[in-house]
């Protein structure tokens, strides 16, 4: 017998540990926490001006959604019905997250994440692993260990973002700390993240949650990139210009990512799979914007060498979630046609563009868009109760707004990338 690998290396095999009921109570609560963090971060992406923090919040909300999903599925393996496992109900914790949703600005938001929720969540996960029987409850331990790895990485990134924010706005440090202290008191009053603490009868006063939170429909961008209304469109015979247009278009998918926050956070009463899918779609579009950013920086060593397009916020911020999503899905379905479409864009980069990085990025952009079309078809079947003809009309109303917005101001030429491309391809 070698204790190093006896019991397959699992911990606490001879400890009584937690019962199935105790495990499910904690896991259900932790899944609720991850879900609410997904919604809070997604809801603040538009109102957060800092480009890099927008992107970080998008990644974090997606990963939190994945963590919640992992725990929900584990619950179904522990005698919890599918219906109960995927219901979002925790009245006490709801008070805390309703309050946290009302964070004022980047400083308070990051303070809540880095000083309150993420540390408490990681502590709760580690407490669970320490107290459960790792042999009996192997499925939970494995899921939680995978989650802790991602939570540690994203927490480090969020802490860095918070510290940078404080350095730029030292006058806001007290605001962040005060907000964190307020939320921590609320969290402690309802028994902590996992419910193992003492619950108080009376909650701290002075809350903001009595007001309804609405995502602001206002463009909020920092000066990371210059801005233009739209860009000149050229055909594929003008190779460097067409490649530059493609790169700038990818960068501009920031507006699509932002708009999906409305769909994710303002659509009520859908099954969990809907929110999980939209969370993924939102993060994909933010990644696509970073595709453009990476290509620009690769060419110019300066991500600000090319501009962000503003025109899409003109119509995306005016649409309600359902017509917005129907319109986006109609546009993406159109990009499946060949030619031109996503396959054509990839082949153009591969065969003519002369930019290997953009070839890789367009390859994955194409794969993501195929997934998004399939997601939309699946979700709209249950979300939209009308006929296919009515759905197409709904999408067309958004398309019309889109067309009107684009022509509001003239497009602008892009900087030339000829010299930059030449440097990349010269041995």
Please tell me whether residues 415 and 316 are part of one structural domain.
yes
291 in any annotated domain? yes
Please tell me whether residues 79 and 173 are part of one structural domain.
yes
CA distances from 323 to 103, 164, 369, 380 (A): 28, 38, 19, 11
Please tell me whether residues 152 and 244 are part of one structural domain.
no
Strands (E), 146-209: none
- 270 within 8 A of 383, measured Cβ to Cβ: yes
6 in any annotated domain? no
204 in any annotated domain? no
Ramachandran sector of residue 173 (left: φ over 0; alpha: ψ -120 to 50; beta: rest): alpha
**What is the predicted pLDDT for the residue at 3?**
87
299 vs 89 pLDDT, higher one: 299
Please tell me whether residues 303 and 173 are part of one structural domain.
no
**What is the predicted pLDDT for the residue at 311?**
96
**What is the predicted pLDDT for the residue at 408?**
95
**What is the predicted pLDDT for the residue at 206?**
67
| Residues 117, 95: Cα–Cα separation, whole Å | 14
Please tell me whether residues 65 and 127 are part of one structural domain.
yes
**What is the predicted pLDDT for the residue at 168?**
86
- The predicted model gives 391-411 an average pLDDT of 94
Mean pLDDT, the chain, rounded, equals 95
- The predicted model gives 221-250 an average pLDDT of 96
Please tell me whether residues 130 and 232 are part of one structural domain.
no
Please tell me whether residues 297 and 416 are part of one structural domain.
yes
Number of domains in the chain: 2
Pairing relation of β-strands 227-228 and 308-309?
A: parallel
Task: Write out the H or E segment, with its range, that includes residue 139.
Answer: helix 138-168
Q: Which residues pair with 199 in a beta bridge?
A: 190
Token representation of residue 59: 């990644």
183 in any annotated domain? yes
**What is the predicted pLDDT for the residue at 78?**
98
- 186 within 8 A of 209, measured Cβ to Cβ: no
Please tell me whether residues 145 and 45 are part of one structural domain.
yes
7 in any annotated domain? no
Range of the domain at 120: 15-189
194 in any annotated domain? no
Last residue of a domain, one of 163, 189, 215: 189
Q: What is the pTM of this model?
A: 0.96
Last residue of a domain, one of 189, 210, 237: 189
Please tell me whether residues 174 and 300 are part of one structural domain.
no
**What is the predicted pLDDT for the residue at 46?**
97
Question: Is the pLDDT at 426 greater than 60, yes or no?
Answer: no
- The predicted model gives 347-372 an average pLDDT of 97
Token representation of residue 253: 């998918």
Question: Domain holding 26: CATH number?
Answer: 1.20.1260.10
Token representation of residue 254: 């920031």
Coil, strand or helix: which one is 220?
coil
- The predicted model gives 348-370 an average pLDDT of 96
pLDDT tens, position by position, 65-98 = 999 999 999 999 999 999 999 987 778 899 999 9
pLDDT tens, position by position, 11-65 = 999 999 999 999 999 999 999 999 999 999 999 999 999 999 999 999 999 999 9
Strands (E), 265-309: 308-309
pLDDT tens, position by position, 134-184 = 999 999 999 999 999 999 999 999 999 999 999 987 777 789 999 999 999
Question: Is the pLDDT at 427 greater than 60, yes or no?
Answer: no
> Cα-Cα-Cα-Cα dihedral of 219, 224, 230, 235, to 10°?
-140
| Residues 262, 281: Cα–Cα separation, whole Å | 12
Please tell me whether residues 281 and 358 are part of one structural domain.
yes
Question: Is the pLDDT at 310 greater than 80, yes or no?
Answer: yes
| Residues 417, 244: Cα–Cα separation, whole Å | 7
**What is the predicted pLDDT for the residue at 273?**
96
Question: Is the pLDDT at 108 greater than 60, yes or no?
Answer: yes
Last residue of a domain, one of 125, 159, 189: 189
Question: Is the pLDDT at 226 greater than 70, yes or no?
Answer: yes
- The predicted model gives 101-120 an average pLDDT of 97
157 in any annotated domain? yes
Question: Domain holding 272: CATH number?
Answer: 1.20.1260
199 in any annotated domain? no
Please tell me whether residues 301 and 162 are part of one structural domain.
no
| Total Cβ atoms within 10 A of residue 427 | 2
- 59 within 8 A of 278, measured Cβ to Cβ: no
Please tell me whether residues 21 and 155 are part of one structural domain.
yes
Coil, strand or helix: which one is 143?
helix
**What is the predicted pLDDT for the residue at 84?**
92
| Residues 69, 276: Cα–Cα separation, whole Å | 8
> Cα-Cα-Cα-Cα dihedral of 261, 322, 215, 35, to 10°?
-50
């Amino acid at each position: 017998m070698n204790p190093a690998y006896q019991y397959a290396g699992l911990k606490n095999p001879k400890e009584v540990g937690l019962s199935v009921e105790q495990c499910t109570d904690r896991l259900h609560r932790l899944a609720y926490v991850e879900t609410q963090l997904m919604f809070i971060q997604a809801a603040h992406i538009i109102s957060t001006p800092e480009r890099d923090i927008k992107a970080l919040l998008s990644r974090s909300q997606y990963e939190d959604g994945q963590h919640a999903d992992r725990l929900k599925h584990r619950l179904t393996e522990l005698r919890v019905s599918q219906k109960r496992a995927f219901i979002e109900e925790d009245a006490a914790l709801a008070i805390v997250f309703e309050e946290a949703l009302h964070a004022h600005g980047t400083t308070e938001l990051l303070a809540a994440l880095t000083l309150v929720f993420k540390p408490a969540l990681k502590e709760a996960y580690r407490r669970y692993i320490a107290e459960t029987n790792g042999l009996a409850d192997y499925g939970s331990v494995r899921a939680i260990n995978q989650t802790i790895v991602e939570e540690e990485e994203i927490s480090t990134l969020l802490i860095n973002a918070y510290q940078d924010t404080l350095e730029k706005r030292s006058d806001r440090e007290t605001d962040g700390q005060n907000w964190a202290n307020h939320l921590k008191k609320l969290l402690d009053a309802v028994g902590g993240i996992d419910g193992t603490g003492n619950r108080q009868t009376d909650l701290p006063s002075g809350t903001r949650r009595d007001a309804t939170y609405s995502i602001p429909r206002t463009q909020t961008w920092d000066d990371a990139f210059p801005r233009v209304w739209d860009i000149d469109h050229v055909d594929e015979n003008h190779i460097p210009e067409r490649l530059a247009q493609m790169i700038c278009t990818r960068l501009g998918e920031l507006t699509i990512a932002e708009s999906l926050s409305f769909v994710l956070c303002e659509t009520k009463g859908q099954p969990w799979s809907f929110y999980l899918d939209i969370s993924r779609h939102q993060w994909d579009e933010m990644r696509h914007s970073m595709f453009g950013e990476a290509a620009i920086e690769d060419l110019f060593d300066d991500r600000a060498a090319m501009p962000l397009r503003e025109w899409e916020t003109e119509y995306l911020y005016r649409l309600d979630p359902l017509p917005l999503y129907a319109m986006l899905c109609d546009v993406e379905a159109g990009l499946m046609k060949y030619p031109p479409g996503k396959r054509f864009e990839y082949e153009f980069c591969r065969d003519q563009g002369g930019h290997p990085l953009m070839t890789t990025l367009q390859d994955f952009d194409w794969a993501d868009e195929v997934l998004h079309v399939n997601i939309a078809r699946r979700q709209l079947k249950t979300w939209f109760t009308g006929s296919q003809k009515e759905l197409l009309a709904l999408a067309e109303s958004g398309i019309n707004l889109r067309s009107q917005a684009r022509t509001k101001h003239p497009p602008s030429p892009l900087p030339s990338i000829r010299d930059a491309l030449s440097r990349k391809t010269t041995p």
